[in-house]
């Protein structure tokens, strides 16, 4: 089998195409193909705010931008999305979304409680701006509507991939504090509504009764050769 | 949004992956023997590459060999001059000081409170926002031996074998026997794990595990655990400071034990003095040191601060001559190179293949072994070269939907689907290019089963505890998948419990000093460490060279 390997010219590596971006209005020339974070660093910014995991999980880097000649306000995650020529951008340093304290172990798990803690849910006008703003592509408005209907299971499922970047709450005309509401709903679902795990209590009981103590003691004392033998003789369970 | 996908030269190569897929789906690849694994590691794993390490020249572990990047941090000047800090004015006078807000720090704070410490007698400080950590980036899952077909014994043997038999075994015992209880705790806190309709957990295999033992929450497992812990922490009204890392520990000269820390406001430059009866280091890992020149999957603040501070007060160091290079980092697109492609992809059946479409390793060998195999494949010319000159092999993602039914990828790996579709690559249709990425600090400052930090002579340093990635011993020389989320919670909890006990036993407030730095500074002088080399570094500096060359420090 003959395979043509990809060849790259040195020039292409050394001299990337440059694009113009406007960081909070100020123009910078940066190489094409960089994430917004890396472009900011290339331009000379040392990041403290608006940066976290750099992998799309923590929601620290909500970014708003517009392109020349467009009225549309676009959103991005600075760690995930690459720069585009002509971008006017700001990475939000912070999104103020105050939370309400609650005691999970003593609350009554129903929708009345969620509405009591976050009454603004009732103000949702179903404009769908939240959904359009979500960098994760979640059905945010559907989740709010599900909560209003009392379908917490549905809301927990729809919002599971929420990274709490806060963009929806910054855009919402009803001023809903989405991420904190979703945290609460998922915990209610997890604690009170999801099926209880099987086996777990049995295993905990066995451990508490000392079922494995003696064997673990032996393993702790075993020589490396004995352990190697045990390790090599394991039977690996097949995949389902 | 840029939706470029693969360049045509690379796209053309995908047909070789597709050609062999049918055949690979039928026949599982054989596993390697212990001897074959050892050989592969010695020849290809970065840990065995000459010229990347050196013996330490200062501190309590002089002579201990560590990676150069680690030695550079430990053989470095403190950020503060002891004379410049006024310790007579205490800004925060607390019982328990927790440094770090990932899973270990939050678990420690909560268990200190459960064990009797008043929430307002705790102070948690963190370098970035509350919860910014590697924990949120843990995707694949958490190991707990709860199925009847499984047992803590098997979890123990898998962990010790995976760790190349170098693990501290009493720590492993704590790990495997606490984990079912930790799962129960997470259930009680309302964490949502993937379950079957009868309530049993969906459990898949991790590399090097002999049972299906990995509990997951889609591929957001760490995020789900972290946000539940953070909610619980916030409900307790515990005082915390964001953007305020600890930069040096304080010690009581009478017993050499720890008595607090110097904190630093990253935004204003102000320092604060915190006094505590117990200090818990939960600062996480070190990916941002780019050990051996690798890109990393770690969060922005993973700069080994805790090891630096702990070592200066006399903590023993274990296994810092070994790091985990996760087999499947992103090799393309360049914009996200080094980010993680979760091992769960391989748990669900995705195989690794070279440029010819040939499989070259069982996808569920331990991480060190799979990484070595990928590095070998690329070094011997069977990899794929990307437009920026990086190398990689294929991870055959579309197999997952073929094996487990259409829709599996979008349901079980939504973060992975998003990560690639943002760059125009649809992983339900196309394989992805992957190469090892710096992922985990296998070792660290040595702890015991009570999460106490130990000196080289095995004695605990009074009032100093550590938990999570910063602590060394439990994972040996290679950590298994799903044992990091387990480790942060098991030892975070134990640290919190020990801290509460320590507070009860400490009637008088320990004195504050920076005396431990005196000898350290003498040693730095004697080996001639350049003055500009200082640590902890707190954050990496990725600013462009062009800018740094012309940078003036005026304002």
pLDDT at residue A109, as a whole number: 83
pLDDT at B394 over 90: yes
Over residues A165-180, the mean pLDDT reads 97
Angstrom distance (rounded) from CA B260 to CA B250:
5
Read off the tokens for B90. Answer: 């205490």
The answer to whether residues B214 and B199 belong to one domain is yes
Supply the DSSP string of chain A, one letter for each residue: ---------HHHHHSPPEEEEEETTEEEEEETT-BHHHHHHHHTPPPSSS-SSSSSSS-TTEEEEE-TT--PPEEEETTTSBP-TTEEEEE-S----------GGGS--SHHHHHHH-GGGGG-----HHHHH-TT---HHHHHHHHHHT-HHHHHHHTTT-----HHHHH-TT---HHHHHHHHHHHIIIIISPPPSSHHHHHHHHHTTTTHHHHHHHHHS-HHHHHHHHHTPPPPPP-
- Whether B451 and B429 share a structural domain: no
Q: What residues make up the domain containing B113?
A: 77-83+94-279+289-300+313-322+442-505
Bridge partners, A26 (sequence order): A23
What contacts B148, CB < 8 A, 6 or more positions away? A199, A202
Please check whether residue B332 touches A, CB under 8 A: no
How far apart (Å, rounded) are the C-alpha atoms in residues B26 and B320?
41
Sign of the four-CA dihedral A178, A180, A185, A189:
positive
Cβ partners under 8 Å of residue B380, min gap 6: none
244-303 in chain B: CB under 8 A from chain A: 266-267, 297, 299-300
pLDDT digits (tens, 9 = 90+) for B219-239: 999 999 999 999 999 999 999
- Over 60: is that where the pLDDT of A6 sits? no
Which residues of chain B lie closer than 8 angstroms to A198, CB-CB? Answer: 198-200
Handedness of CA B448, B450, B451, B457 (dihedral sign): negative
Of B19, B190, B342, which to mutate for an interface test with A (greatest number of A Cβ within 10 Å)? Answer: B190
At B501 the three-state DSSP class reads: helix
Assign B546 a pLDDT band (cuts: 50, 70, 90): confident
Q: Does the CB of A225 have a partner CB in chain B at under 8 Å?
A: no
pLDDT of residue A3: 44
Distance CA B240, CA B255 (A): 28
B297 CB neighbours in chain A (<8 A) are 55
Residue A215: closest CA among B80, B322, B151, B343: B151
One domain, residues B118 and B264: yes
Residue at B537 is within a domain: no
- Which of A53, A143, A178 is closest to B296 using CA atoms? A53
| Alpha carbon distances (Å) from B60 to B63, B305, B442 | 9, 17, 20
Residue-wise pLDDT tens digits, B67-123:
999 999 999 999 999 999 999 999 999 999 999 999 999 999 999 999 999 999 999
Which pLDDT band holds residue A8 (cuts at 50, 70, 90)? very low
Mean pLDDT (chain B, rounded): 97
Euclidean distance between the first and the last CA atom of chain A, given in angstroms as a whole number? 34
Are B411 and B465 within one domain? no
The answer on B337 and B296 residing in a single domain is: no
Nearest to A200 among B180, B190, B389 (CB): B180
Q: What global pTM score does this model have?
A: 0.96
Q: In what order do the strands lie in the sheet with A26-31?
A: A26-31, A18-23, A87-91, A62-66, A74-77
Q: Tell me, what CATH number does B472's domain have?
A: 3.50.50.60
Contact A6 B415 (CB under 8 A): no
Predicted pLDDT at A14: 55
Mind listing the pLDDT tens digit for each residue in B127-148?
999 999 999 999 999 999 999 9
**For residues A156 and B190, what is the distance between their CA atoms, to the nearest angstrom?**
11
Distance CA B278, CA B504 (A): 10
Give strand pairing partners of A76.
A63
Structural domain includes residue B410: yes
Given this model, what pLDDT does residue A84 score? 95
Does residue B2 belong to any structural domain of this protein?
no
Average pLDDT of the residues in A9-26: 78
Q: Does A24 touch chain B (CB under 8 A)?
A: no
The alpha-carbon gap from B204 to the nearest alpha carbon of chain A, in Å, equals 8
Shared domain for B425 and B333, answered yes or no, is yes
Query: Is the predicted pLDDT of residue A9 greater than 80, yes or no?
Result: no
Are the beta carbons of A55 and A79 closer than 8 angstroms? Answer: yes
DSSP element (H, E) containing B546? helix B545-549
**How many domains does chain B fold into?**
2
Asked if B232 and B367 sit in the same domain, the reply is: no
Radius of gyration of chain B from Cα atoms? 23
pLDDT (0 to 100) of residue A112 = 87
Architecture of domain A16-91: Roll (3.10)
User: Cα separation of B485 and B191, whole Å?
Assistant: 14
| Segment A93-106, tens digit of pLDDT | 999 999 999 999 98
**Quick one: pLDDT at residue B27?**
87
What's the pLDDT tens digit per position in A66-89?
Answer: 999 999 999 999 999 999 999 999
Look at residue B373 and tell me if it is in a domain.
Answer: yes
8 Å CB contact between A54 and A96: no
Cα A151 to the chain's mean position, in Å? 23
Give the residue range(s) of CATH 3.10.20.740 domains in chain A: 16-91
Would residue B24 count as lying in a domain?
A: yes
Res A2: pLDDT: 39
H or E stretch covering B259: strand B258-264
Place of tokens 């806190």: B189
Nearest to B191 among A3, A55, A190 (CB): A190
The owner of tokens 């780019």 is: B290
Residues B397, B446 within the same domain: no
- Determine which of A1, A28, A57, A188 to mutate to test the interface with B (most B C-beta atoms within 10 Å): A57
Share of chain A above pLDDT 70, in %: 93
- Regarding whether B225 and B148 lie in a shared domain, the answer is yes
Compute CA A194 distance to the chain's CA centroid, rounded to the nearest angstrom: 22
| pLDDT tens sequence across B452-505 | 999 999 999 999 999 999 999 999 999 999 999 999 999 999 999 999 999 999
Predicted local distance difference test score (pLDDT) of residue A7:
46
Answer yes or no: do B432 and B453 share one domain: no
Under a CB-based contact definition with an 8 Å cutoff, are residues A21 and A14 in contact? Answer: no
Nearest-Cα distance to chain B for A182, in Å, is 11
B35 belongs to a structural domain: no
B90 in Cβ contact with B61 (< 8 Å): no
Is residue B522 classed exposed, middle or buried when 0-12, 13-18 and 19+ CB atoms within 10 A define those classes?
exposed
The predicted-structure confidence for B314-344, as pLDDT tens digits, reads as follows 999 999 999 999 999 999 999 999 999 999 9
Residue B334: its chain A contacts at CB < 8 A? 33
Whether B531 is covered by a domain: the verdict is no
Using the Cβ of B423 and the Cβ atoms of chain A, whether some distance falls under 8 Å is answered with: yes
Q: Are residues B153 and B271 in the same domain?
A: yes
Distance CA B484, CA B189 (A): 20
Name the pairing type of β-strands B460-466 and B471-472.
unpaired
Nearest to A203 by CA among B264, B183, B97, B266: B183
Instruction: Count CB atoms within 10 A of the CB of residue B42.
Output: 11
Q: What does the pLDDT look like over B193-211, one tens digit per residue?
A: 999 999 999 999 999 999 9
* Cα angle for residues B341, B346, B352 (degrees, 5° grid): 85
| CA–CA separation, B383 and A116 (whole Å) | 58
Residues A16-21: what's their mean pLDDT? 93
Q: Is the pLDDT of residue A4 over 60?
A: no
Q: Is residue B520 part of a domain?
A: no
How confident is the model over A123-128, as a mean pLDDT? 97
- Chain B residue numbers with beta carbons less than 8 Å from the beta carbon of A6 are 7, 9-10, 13, 384-387
Final residue belonging to a domain, choices B439, B454, B475: B439
Q: How many CB pairs under 8 A join A and B?
A: 265
Q: Nearest to residue B169, comparing CAs of B152, B149, B148?
A: B152
Where do we find the tokens 């596993």? Answer: B31
Please tell me the distance from the alpha carbon of residue A157 to that of residue A229, in angstroms, as a whole number. Answer: 45
How deeply is B193 buried, as exposed, middle or buried, from its count of CB atoms within 10 A (0-12, 13-18, 19+)?
Answer: buried
CB-based contact, B235 to chain A, within 8 Å: yes
> Are B329 and B340 within one domain?
yes
In whole angstroms, what is the distance from residue B346 CA to residue B395 CA?
8
The answer to whether the beta carbons of residues B249 and B442 sit under 8 Å apart is no
- Return residues 118-147 of A near B (CB < 8 Å): 136-137
Chain B partners within 8 Å of A33 (Cβ): 2, 333-335
Tell me whether A191 touches chain B (CB under 8 Å): yes
Of B193, B227, B551, the CB nearest to A183: B227
Instruction: Please give the residue of chain A at the shortest CA–CA distance from B137.
Output: A57
**Any B CB within 8 A of A14 CB:** no
Q: What value does the mean pLDDT take over residues B535-545?
A: 95
Q: Cβ contact (<8 Å) for A43 and B544?
A: yes
**Residue B389 and residue A8: Cβ atoms within 8 Å?**
yes
Q: Mind listing the pLDDT tens digit for each residue in B29-46?
A: 999 999 999 999 999 999
- The answer to whether B547 contacts chain A (CB < 8 Å) is yes
Give per-residue pLDDT as tens, B337-390: 999 999 999 999 999 999 999 999 999 999 999 999 999 999 999 999 999 899
For residue B87, give the 3-state DSSP assignment: coil
What one-character DSSP code corresponds to residue B540? -
Helix, strand or coil, per DSSP, at residue B160: helix
Return the CATH number at B405: 3.90.700.10
CB B296 within 8 A of CB B340: no
**Are the beta carbons of B377 and B393 closer than 8 angstroms?**
yes
A237: contact with B, CB 8 A cutoff: yes
| Domain end marker among B439, B454, B476 | B439
Q: Please tell me the distance from the alpha carbon of residue B387 to that of residue A10, in angstroms, as a whole number.
A: 10
């Amino acid at each position: 089998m003959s395979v043509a390997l990809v060849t790259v010219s040195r020039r292409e590596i050394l001299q990337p195409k440059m694009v113009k971006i406007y960081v909070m209005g100020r123009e910078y020339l940066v190489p094409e193909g960089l994430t917004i974070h890396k472009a900011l660093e290339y331009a000379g910014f040392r990041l403290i705010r608006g940066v976290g995991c750099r992998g799309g999980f923590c929601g620290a880097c909500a970014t708003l931008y517009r392109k020349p000649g467009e009225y549309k306000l676009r959103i991005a995650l600075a760690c995930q999305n690459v720069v585009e020529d002509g971008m006017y951008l700001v990475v939000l340093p912070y999104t103020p979304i105050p939370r309400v304290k609650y005691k999970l172990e003593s609350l009554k798990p129903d929708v009345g409680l969620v509405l009591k803690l976050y009454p603004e849910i009732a103000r949702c006008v179903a404009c769908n701006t939240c959904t359009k703003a979500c960098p994760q592509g979640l059905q945010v408005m559907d989740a709010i509507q599900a909560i209003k209907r009392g379908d917490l299971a549905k809301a927990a499922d729809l919002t599971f991939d929420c990274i709490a970047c806060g963009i929806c709450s910054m855009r919402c005309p009803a001023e809903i504090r989405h991420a904190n509401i979703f945290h609460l709903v998922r915990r209610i679902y997890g604690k009170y509504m999801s099926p209880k795990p099987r086996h777990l209590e049995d295993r905990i009981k066995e451990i508490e009764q000392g079922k494995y103590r003696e064997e673990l003691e032996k393993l702790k004392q075993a020589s490396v050769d004995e352990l190697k033998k045990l390790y090599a003789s394991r039977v690996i369970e097949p995949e389902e | 949004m840029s939706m470029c996908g693969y360049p045509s030269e690379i796209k053309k190569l995908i047909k070789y992956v597709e050609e062999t897929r049918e055949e690979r789906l039928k026949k599982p690849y054989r596993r390697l023997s212990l001897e074959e694994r050892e050989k592969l590691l010695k020849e290809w794993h970065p840990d065995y590459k000459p010229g990347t390490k050196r013996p330490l020249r200062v501190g309590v572990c002089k002579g201990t060999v560590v990676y150069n990047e680690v030695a550079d941090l430990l053989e470095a000047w403190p950020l503060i001059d002891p004379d410049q800090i006024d310790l007579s004015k205490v800004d925060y006078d607390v019982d328990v000081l927790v440094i770090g807000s990932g899973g270990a720090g939050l678990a420690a704070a909560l268990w200190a409170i459960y064990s009797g410490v008043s929430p307002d007698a705790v102070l948690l400080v963190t370098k970035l926002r509350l919860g910014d950590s590697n924990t949120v980036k843990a995707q694949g899952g958490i190991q707990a031996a709860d199925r009847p077909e499984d047992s803590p014994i098997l979890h123990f043997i898998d962990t010790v074998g995976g760790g190349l038999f170098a693990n501290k075994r009493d720590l492993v015992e704590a790990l495997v026997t606490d984990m079912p209880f930790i799962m129960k705790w997470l259930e009680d806190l309302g964490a949502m794990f993937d379950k079957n309709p009868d309530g049993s957990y969906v459990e898949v295999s991790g590399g090097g595990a002999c049972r299906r033992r990995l509990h997951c929450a889609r591929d957001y497992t760490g995020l789900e655990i972290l946000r539940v812990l953070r909610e619980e922490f916030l409900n307790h009204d515990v005082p915390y400071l964001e953007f305020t890392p600890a930069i040096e520990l304080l010690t009581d000269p009478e017993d050499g034990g720890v008595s607090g820390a110097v904190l630093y406001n990253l935004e204003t430059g102000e320092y604060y003095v915190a006094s505590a009866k117990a200090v818990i280091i939960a600062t996480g890992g070190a990916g941002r040191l780019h050990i051996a020149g690798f890109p990393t999957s770690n969060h922005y603040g993973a700069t080994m601060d805790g090891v630096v501070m702990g070592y200066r007060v006399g903590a023993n160091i274990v296994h810092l001559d070994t790091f985990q290079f996760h087999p499947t980092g992103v090799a393309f697109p360049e914009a996200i190179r080094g980010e993680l492609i979760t091992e769960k992809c391989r748990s669900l059946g995705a195989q690794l293949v070279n440029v010819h479409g040939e499989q070259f390793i069982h996808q569920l060998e331990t991480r060190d072994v799979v990484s070595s195999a990928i590095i070998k494949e690329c070094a011997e010319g069977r990899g794929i070269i990307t437009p920026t000159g990086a190398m990689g092999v294929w991870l055959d993602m579309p197999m997952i939907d073929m094996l487990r039914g259409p829709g599996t990828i979008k349901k079980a790996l939504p973060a992975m689907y998003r990560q690639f579709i943002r760059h125009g690559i649809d992983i339900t249709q196309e394989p992805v290019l992957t190469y090892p990425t710096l992922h985990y600090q296998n070792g660290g400052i040595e702890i015991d089963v009570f999460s106490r930090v130990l000196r080289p002579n095995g004695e605990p340093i009074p009032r100093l505890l550590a938990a999570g990635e910063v602590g060394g011993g439990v994972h040996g020389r290679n950590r298994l998948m799903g044992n990091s989320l387990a480790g942060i919670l098991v030892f975070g909890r134990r640290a919190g419990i020990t801290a509460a006990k320590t507070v009860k036993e400490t009637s008088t407030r320990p004195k504050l000093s920076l005396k431990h730095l005196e000898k350290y500074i003498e040693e730095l002088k004697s080996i001639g460490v350049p003055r500009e080399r200082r640590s902890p570094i707190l954050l990496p500096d990725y600013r462009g060279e062009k800018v740094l060359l012309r940078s003036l420090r005026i304002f």
